[in-house]
Amino acid sequence: MQSLVSHDRVWIDKQTPEVYHALNSVATAVRTAAAAVDLGRAVMELVNVRVSQLNGCAFCLDVHFRAAREAGVSTQQLAVLDAWQRSPQLYSDQERAALIIAETVTAIPDEQCIAREYAAARQHLSDDQLSVLIWAATTIGAFNRVSILSGHPVRVRKEN
């Protein structure tokens, strides 16, 4: 089977490292802001995995699946994340609100949908938390695009 990823792509993170470092600085600032507004690492990793699923970024899924497990996200939560709305009992109110925002940021739907999703999320998130989650979804979306367009491979490793 032939690889779908071209090996002659420019790895933009290596080609323009100063911009990639700036993106990493944004990610660091988002993590710091998340901790300051009581958004745990597990919530943030659920957002990273969900946005990466929606964007189809295999590299980021590989990285953030492992990070989510290290943050305490259960294998079951990760296994059904693509259908989280059909399994609400597996996710806290805050996690569900975070996933609503992650999907809204990634899809950028029409204004009525945005208003509806904001209202649903605001029931469980402060304005500060909402802001951080929007930044988180935006940031992982940028990393998804870097990895997809650069053709970053997922390296095969032995399972633990």
Q: What are 126-152's pLDDT values in tens digits? A: 999 999 999 999 999 999 999 999 999
**Backbone φ and ψ of 139, nearest 5°:** -70, -45
DSSP string across 95-154: HHHHHHHHHHHHH---HHHHHHHHHHHHTT--HHHHHHHHHHHHHHHHHHHHHHHHTPPP
DSSP 85: G
Q: Are 71 and 43 in contact (CB under 8 A)?
A: no
Q: Which residue reads 């988002």 in tokens?
A: 30
The pLDDT score that the predictor gives to residue 158 is 86
Q: Are 48 and 57 in contact (CB under 8 A)?
A: no
Q: What are 33-65's pLDDT values in tens digits? A: 999 999 999 999 999 999 999 999 999 999 999
Q: Hey, is 80 helix, strand or coil?
A: coil
CATH of domain 16-150: 1.20.1290.10
